Amino acid sequence: MNLEVLRFSSEKDSTLGALFDITNGDRKFLCYTLEDEYREEKVMHETRIPAGTYKVTLRTWGGFHSNYQNRFSDIHVGMLWINDVPNFEHILIHCGNDDDDTSGCLLVGETQTANNLGSDGFVGGSTRAYRAIYPKLAKAAKENNLTITYTDFDTV
Protein backbone atom coordinates (compact mmCIF):
# COMPACT_ATOMS: atom_id res chain seq x y z
CA MET A 1 0.00 0.00 0.00
CA ASN A 2 1.29 3.45 -0.92
CA LEU A 3 0.22 6.65 0.81
CA GLU A 4 0.83 10.25 -0.18
CA VAL A 5 0.62 13.42 1.89
CA LEU A 6 0.05 16.48 -0.27
CA ARG A 7 1.18 19.47 1.76
CA PHE A 8 -0.51 22.67 0.65
CA SER A 9 -0.12 25.28 3.40
CA SER A 10 2.79 25.89 5.76
CA GLU A 11 2.46 28.89 8.02
CA LYS A 12 4.06 30.07 11.28
CA ASP A 13 3.10 27.05 13.43
CA SER A 14 1.70 24.30 11.22
CA THR A 15 1.50 22.58 7.86
CA LEU A 16 -1.81 21.43 6.44
CA GLY A 17 -2.22 18.62 3.98
CA ALA A 18 -4.33 15.74 2.79
CA LEU A 19 -3.60 12.00 2.99
CA PHE A 20 -4.32 9.81 -0.02
CA ASP A 21 -4.09 6.12 -0.88
CA ILE A 22 -2.25 6.04 -4.22
CA THR A 23 -1.74 2.27 -4.34
CA ASN A 24 -3.49 1.65 -7.66
CA GLY A 25 -2.32 4.80 -9.39
CA ASP A 26 -5.48 6.70 -8.44
CA ARG A 27 -5.66 9.19 -5.58
CA LYS A 28 -8.22 8.09 -2.99
CA PHE A 29 -8.74 10.69 -0.26
CA LEU A 30 -8.39 9.27 3.25
CA CYS A 31 -8.32 12.29 5.59
CA TYR A 32 -6.80 15.69 6.33
CA THR A 33 -3.41 16.09 7.99
CA LEU A 34 -1.55 18.53 10.21
CA GLU A 35 2.17 18.67 10.99
CA ASP A 36 4.68 21.13 12.33
CA GLU A 37 5.73 23.93 9.99
CA TYR A 38 8.40 23.94 7.29
CA ARG A 39 11.85 25.15 8.37
CA GLU A 40 15.06 25.14 6.40
CA GLU A 41 16.94 24.22 9.58
CA LYS A 42 15.46 21.70 11.99
CA VAL A 43 14.26 22.87 15.40
CA MET A 44 13.51 19.88 17.60
CA HIS A 45 9.76 19.32 18.15
CA GLU A 46 8.96 22.28 15.86
CA THR A 47 9.80 21.10 12.32
CA ARG A 48 8.04 18.81 9.88
CA ILE A 49 9.97 15.97 8.24
CA PRO A 50 11.54 16.46 4.80
CA ALA A 51 9.63 15.64 1.62
CA GLY A 52 10.38 12.13 0.41
CA THR A 53 9.24 8.53 0.55
CA TYR A 54 9.51 6.50 3.73
CA LYS A 55 8.69 2.99 4.87
CA VAL A 56 5.99 2.67 7.56
CA THR A 57 6.18 -0.16 10.08
CA LEU A 58 4.52 -0.96 13.40
CA ARG A 59 6.17 0.14 16.64
CA THR A 60 5.11 -2.01 19.60
CA TRP A 61 6.90 -0.19 22.40
CA GLY A 62 6.85 3.26 23.98
CA GLY A 63 4.35 5.56 25.62
CA PHE A 64 2.16 6.11 22.56
CA HIS A 65 1.90 2.36 22.03
CA SER A 66 0.84 1.74 25.63
CA ASN A 67 -1.66 4.60 25.52
CA TYR A 68 -3.16 3.48 22.19
CA GLN A 69 -3.33 -0.14 23.36
CA ASN A 70 -5.76 1.07 26.01
CA ARG A 71 -7.48 3.77 23.95
CA PHE A 72 -8.01 1.61 20.84
CA SER A 73 -7.94 -1.88 22.38
CA ASP A 74 -10.31 -3.22 19.72
CA ILE A 75 -8.00 -2.39 16.76
CA HIS A 76 -4.51 -1.45 17.98
CA VAL A 77 -1.59 -3.70 16.99
CA GLY A 78 1.18 -1.08 17.06
CA MET A 79 1.88 2.55 16.25
CA LEU A 80 2.24 3.54 12.59
CA TRP A 81 5.95 4.44 12.58
CA ILE A 82 7.57 6.37 9.72
CA ASN A 83 11.09 4.98 9.39
CA ASP A 84 14.51 6.28 8.35
CA VAL A 85 13.68 10.00 8.33
CA PRO A 86 16.99 11.91 8.21
CA ASN A 87 17.70 13.67 11.53
CA PHE A 88 14.34 12.58 13.03
CA GLU A 89 13.33 9.74 15.32
CA HIS A 90 10.04 8.19 16.39
CA ILE A 91 7.83 9.88 13.77
CA LEU A 92 4.31 8.47 14.08
CA ILE A 93 0.88 8.81 12.51
CA HIS A 94 -1.55 9.52 15.34
CA CYS A 95 -4.46 11.51 16.72
CA GLY A 96 -4.24 15.19 17.62
CA ASN A 97 -5.70 18.54 16.74
CA ASP A 98 -3.00 21.21 16.44
CA ASP A 99 0.74 21.84 16.42
CA ASP A 100 0.91 21.35 20.20
CA ASP A 101 0.03 17.67 19.61
CA THR A 102 2.86 16.90 17.19
CA SER A 103 6.65 16.85 17.31
CA GLY A 104 7.15 16.20 13.62
CA CYS A 105 4.48 13.48 13.60
CA LEU A 106 1.54 13.34 11.19
CA LEU A 107 -1.84 14.11 12.78
CA VAL A 108 -5.00 12.96 11.01
CA GLY A 109 -8.51 14.43 11.02
CA GLU A 110 -11.91 14.49 9.35
CA THR A 111 -12.03 18.29 9.13
CA GLN A 112 -9.49 21.06 8.80
CA THR A 113 -9.29 24.75 9.67
CA ALA A 114 -7.04 27.04 7.62
CA ASN A 115 -3.71 28.10 9.12
CA ASN A 116 -3.34 31.32 7.12
CA LEU A 117 -6.34 33.32 8.34
CA GLY A 118 -5.21 34.19 11.86
CA SER A 119 -5.45 30.58 13.03
CA ASP A 120 -2.64 28.14 13.78
CA GLY A 121 -4.35 25.36 11.83
CA PHE A 122 -6.51 22.60 13.25
CA VAL A 123 -7.78 19.14 12.36
CA GLY A 124 -11.04 17.98 13.92
CA GLY A 125 -12.57 14.54 14.22
CA SER A 126 -9.09 13.12 14.69
CA THR A 127 -10.15 9.99 16.59
CA ARG A 128 -12.80 9.14 13.99
CA ALA A 129 -10.32 9.67 11.14
CA TYR A 130 -7.72 7.51 12.90
CA ARG A 131 -10.24 4.72 13.52
CA ALA A 132 -11.29 4.87 9.85
CA ILE A 133 -7.81 4.57 8.34
CA TYR A 134 -5.86 2.62 10.98
CA PRO A 135 -7.01 -0.99 10.32
CA LYS A 136 -6.09 -0.94 6.62
CA LEU A 137 -2.78 0.88 7.23
CA ALA A 138 -1.83 -1.38 10.13
CA LYS A 139 -2.55 -4.48 8.04
CA ALA A 140 -0.27 -3.22 5.26
CA ALA A 141 2.46 -2.26 7.76
CA LYS A 142 2.22 -5.67 9.43
CA GLU A 143 2.73 -7.26 6.00
CA ASN A 144 5.80 -5.02 5.51
CA ASN A 145 4.05 -3.35 2.60
CA LEU A 146 3.38 0.29 3.52
CA THR A 147 5.11 3.45 2.29
CA ILE A 148 4.28 7.13 2.63
CA THR A 149 5.39 9.91 0.29
CA TYR A 150 5.36 13.55 1.41
CA THR A 151 4.93 15.97 -1.50
CA ASP A 152 5.34 19.72 -0.96
CA PHE A 153 3.04 22.13 -2.81
CA ASP A 154 3.50 24.83 -0.17
CA THR A 155 7.19 25.73 -0.57
CA VAL A 156 9.37 26.46 -3.55
Write out pLDDT tens, residues 30-61: 999 999 999 988 998 899 999 999 999 999 99
At 16, the pLDDT band (50, 70, 90 cuts) reads very high
Q: How far is CA 71 from CA 65, 88, 131, 141, in A?
A: 10, 26, 11, 20
Helices in the chain by DSSP H: which ranges?
63-71, 126-142
Q: How far is CA 61 from CA 43, 68, 80, 135, in A?
A: 25, 11, 11, 18
The pLDDT, as a whole number, for residue 7 is 97
Read off the pLDDT of each residue in 82-93 and give the average, rounded to a whole number. 95
At 118, the pLDDT band (50, 70, 90 cuts) reads confident
Compute the mean pLDDT over every residue in the chain, rounded to the nearest whole number: 95
User: Residue 45 forms beta bridges with which residues?
Assistant: none
Nearest residue to 98 (alpha-carbon basis) of 114, 120, 80:
120
